[in-house]
Chain A
Amino acid sequence: MTFIDRIERPEDFRHWFGDMEAQYVYTSGVAGDKFFTALKKGKFLGTKCDQCGKVYVPPRMYCEECFKALTEWIDIPNKGIVDTYTVVHVDRDENLLETPEIRAFIRMEGTDGGLVHKLDVPAEAVKIGMPVKAVFKKEKEREGRITDILYFAK
């Protein structure tokens, strides 16, 4: 019974079952905390690099290209454009959804960034380049998370 012999009794072979037990709490970070605190109030913020002019949404503490600390915070109007999208038919566990849903990358106007979120537009009506805006939860239901935005819509 070694690597080189045939296995005669496969029922002798066992599996050991287990799982990964862990819970995580991720801080949104120094820049992220400012962004989500503003999002809770229904506002978007970005950071601008004074060297290359790039405007980051979500805002970052540093410019990826120039590698300097970003200190200029600017208000970003709630106006986006659908940059790309997908039509989702199954959930995370591969169960069929009752109605297909749209997930899109929304580029925020006047910035070099954007957000991935749900798009509340029927699949046949979605067009790349269409203007959309964020629809927020009621103020008292917001928590300072990306889900404070319910979805983007026309």
Chain B
Amino acid sequence: MRDVACVGAGMTIFSRRLKETGKEMCFEAVRMALDEAGLELKDIDTVVCGSAPDAFDGIHMKGENLLDGCGGAKKTYMRVFTGGGTGVLAPIAGWWHVASGVSDVCMVICEEKMSSCFPHPQSAFGHIWDPILERPIQPNLVWIFAMEMNRYMHVHNIKKEDIALVSVKNKGNALDHPSAQLAAKITVDDVLNSEVMAWPVQRLDISPPSDGAAALIFAAGDKVGPITDNPVWVEGVGWCIDSTMWTNRDLYFPQYVAKAAKMAYKMAGIHNPFKEIDVAEPYDPFDYKELHHMEGLLLCKKGEAANLTREGVTQRDGDLPTCPSGGLLGVGNPIAATMGVKAGEIYWQLAGKAGKRQVPDARTGVCQAWGDLMQYGSVMVMRS
């Protein structure tokens, strides 16, 4: 297996609706990544496209439709898709193309255009349900996340006030991110007083639907030299999925994230994640998810993530800066394109290019994504 490093990244702004077509968004992100790496399209031999359901953009075979905007025409190409897990699974797919020897320099591009779906992207989610057991109940996706949040709060006796601190932190962190859709200085009271959507989920607990695209370039170890003297190495990858029968599981702990994390840590030689990791980007489509995933990533004991947050450990100047980008809560949630604030952010942090968001002395980072019906975990560990 070859060594693989990330050598460039790019992303569009995240917005509730962008004028660009999916292809145009892909071009913008890929061009920005190529410019950062000082490369041209002819230097790329393989393209991996990550994009979640065709039902959002409303274009069947979306991966094929986006192709030319991804720079993939007449190249080795693959589309990968694991719902919300795509944001880290796509860079993992880029990694395996290079690590296996199939590719020397691989472009990973993720895109999502949720604004095409009317009356609301929720309608596209309608097709994720089991047609016999779940659709007749006419569920809203927010319900099931609310049920997971409720179970988590109940098992560990966690208060909403502590969970709301995550939303306050991330939306505040996003003020320093050029792509941010919902950056704001808010308070815990703002969160607790916001509109109840499906209790215990309130409006300021959730990330918005977004349009956006993000790109990362991966190169084989022996090709990195001429490109950059500041590569960020992929040290560990892991991915794991649980069954769609989510009503047959206890939702308080994401076992599938823990399995993916163990796989990645083993490969990276990490034995004490809390001590050895300098910066973390767990998936945060909801504020409680950052806590849920910190525990799934084995960064702390079960039920303890809220304490760490309350004590300021996860702030940018804390012992374990978590979601310094502002995450999905602050920057936006264009499903697969969240790669920009997960794998992309860890790359920029470890390369020292995170600007105002920079965590000092960040050498080892972990990013994680989560998808489908609360079943998918993808994890990547990087080192500079």
Q: Given the known A-B contacts A16-B132, A29-B20, A67-B41, are A23 and B27 also in contact in the complex, defined by CB atoms under 8 Å? A: no
Q: Is A30 an interface residue (CB 8 A)?
A: yes
Does B118 contact A25, Cβ atoms closer than 8 Å? yes
Q: Is B361 an interface residue (CB 8 A)?
A: no
Q: Which residue of A lies closest to B126 (CB)?
A: A21
Q: Is B366 an interface residue (CB 8 A)?
A: no
> B19 touches which one: A18, A23, A27 (CB < 8 A)?
A27
Q: Which residue of B lies closest to A62 (CB)?
A: B27
Query: Please, how many angstroms separate the alpha-carbon atoms of A62 and B213 in the complex?
Result: 16
Cβ proximity bits A55-80 to B, threshold 8 Å, 1 near / 0 not = 00000111011111100000000000
Q: Is B316 an interface residue (CB 8 A)?
A: no
Q: Is B23 an interface residue (CB 8 A)?
A: yes
Does B34 contact A67, Cβ atoms closer than 8 Å? yes
Q: Is B131 an interface residue (CB 8 A)?
A: yes
Chain A residue numbers with a CB within 8 Å of B311 are none
Q: Is B384 an interface residue (CB 8 A)?
A: no
Query: Please, how many angstroms separate the alpha-carbon atoms of A22 and B135 in the complex?
Result: 15
Does A25 contact B20, Cβ atoms closer than 8 Å? no
Docked complex: A26-50 residues within 8 A CB-CB of B: 26-33
Q: Is A20 an interface residue (CB 8 A)?
A: yes
Q: Is B116 an interface residue (CB 8 A)?
A: yes
Chain A residue numbers with a CB within 8 Å of B34 are 67
> B21 touches which one: A23, A25, A27 (CB < 8 A)?
A27
Q: Given the known A-B contacts A61-B24, A61-B27, are A26 and B123 also in contact in the complex, defined by CB atoms under 8 Å? A: no
Report A's interface with B, CB cutoff 8 A: 16, 18, 20-33, 60-62, 64-69
Show 15 residue pairs from A and B whose CB-CB distance is below 8 angstroms, ordered by the A residue.
Answer: A16-B131, A21-B126, A22-B117, A23-B117, A26-B58, A26-B116, A27-B19, A27-B20, A29-B23, A30-B20, A30-B24, A60-B68, A65-B73, A66-B41, A67-B40
